[in-house]
Amino acid sequence: MNAAARPLQLLDLDRRSLEGALAARGYQRFHAGQIFQWVYRRAVTDPAAMTDLPRELRQTLAAEAVVALPALASRDISVDGTEKFLFELDDRRRIESVFIPDTPAMTFCISTQVGCAMACAFCLTGRMGLVRQLTAGEIVGQVLALARHVDLAGKPFNVVFMGMGEPLHNYDETMTALRILTDAHGFAIGPRRITLSTVGLPPAIERLGREPIMPNIAVSLHAPTDALRAELVPIARKYGIADIIAVCKRLPLRKRSRITFEYVLLAGVNDRLQDARRLARLLGGLKSKVNLIPLNEAPGIPFRRPSDEAIDAFARTLADHGAVVSVRKSRGRDIRAACGQLIVEGSRKSAAQRLAVRM
């Protein structure tokens, strides 16, 4: 390791990459597994405290490598126990992450981008545009920081990639983060305890299906027709619903696993009973379930939440037509931590938002 070079951010490296970096510098590959256990299982980031490493390696890591966690800028607690964390990154960009207790397990909701290029009409994050991609270390760093702040280091929890950003638009860094999260020497989180939410990018979903690690998949559909979906989700102008359904049918699902289709209910827009019937027909023959998400209203979003009666009728119609359906209970709405409410005020937009539909 070259002390004059930029410090090596250990959180950016999956175990195989760390093994290669150590071997190239004359250290044994197996030390990578030890480092992973210290950092991810014990939340120890000071190399001097990694007592089963050789002294020379500890000194080298202390001098030339870092474990840089995002800095906590603020922390808000909802009346329902949900906590929202505002983290500041090295370049002073900010992202939000959420801790959702008792769901029934403990769940961390993490971000993969600063902002989002998808520009969904009902999502505050989309109003930011894409400021920049997060590195694998910044993604994993949120998990480490949350585990520390809520005292879950070394304890079981779930992770959902449902925070700011489109995970599959930041494919390589997201996959590296997944490898770190599931590594047996580190967090050792089983793929069944990780959910990746995507707006539906068929080429990336196809690629994901060839990965050795397959998390739970949640596809944000939000409409039963291409015309309506294009009004709500701009990327639908490029990828139609049929494209998404076709690639989902090719995914190698585990036994008893289903693809989740998320559907944000908007009053008078996509909550008609005929919409429910169309949706059920679309998903017929696919191992799936529908997660209905009543809109979490926010200033600047030009839609309203349907009535409880309309939500119940929509869910019943889906079930009557053979769909497996659930209605998501919103958490953290009073602190703007619920689905679609994450936004960092004052973040500068980039051209990426304008290019989103051409991806």
Task: Go through the domains of the chain in sequence order and give each one's CATH number.
Answer: 8-66 (1.10.150.530), 71-358 (3.20.20.70)
Residue 227: CA count within 13 A, CB half-sphere? 2
Q: Which two tokens stand for residue 348?
A: 């500068």
Q: Which of 109, 120, 123, 339 is catalytic?
A: 339
Above 90 in pLDDT, residue 36?
yes
Catalytic, 339? Answer yes
C-alpha span between 273 and 198 (Å, rounded): 25
SS3 59: helix
Of 108, 67, 117, which is closest to residue 90 (Cα–Cα)? 67
- pLDDT tens string 282-339: 999 899 999 999 998 888 889 999 999 999 999 999 999 999 999 987 665 665 545 5
Pair 79, 226: CB distance under 8 Å: no
What band does 352 get if pLDDT is binned at 50, 70 and 90?
very low
What mean pLDDT is reported for the chain?
90
SS3 159: strand
- pLDDT tens string 101-140: 986 789 999 999 999 999 999 988 888 899 999 999 999 9
- pLDDT tens string 73-88: 999 999 889 999 999 9
Which carries the bigger pLDDT value, residue 303 or residue 349? 303
Of 77, 75, 82, which is closest to residue 331 (Cα–Cα)? 82
What band does 91 get if pLDDT is binned at 50, 70 and 90?
very high
Pair 130, 352: CB distance under 8 Å: yes
Say what the pLDDT of residue 127 is: 85
Q: Which of 96, 138, 166, 262 is catalytic?
A: 96
What band does 257 get if pLDDT is binned at 50, 70 and 90?
confident
Pair 249, 286: CB distance under 8 Å: yes
| Mean local confidence (pLDDT), 159-177 | 97
Q: Is the pTM of this model over 0.75?
A: yes
Pair 114, 96: CB distance under 8 Å: no
Above 60 in pLDDT, residue 1?
no
Above 90 in pLDDT, residue 159?
yes
The DSSP element (H or E) to which 136 belongs, if any, is helix 136-149
Give the distance between the most distant pair of CA atoms in the chain: 68
C-alpha of 358 from chain center: 22
Above 90 in pLDDT, residue 221?
yes
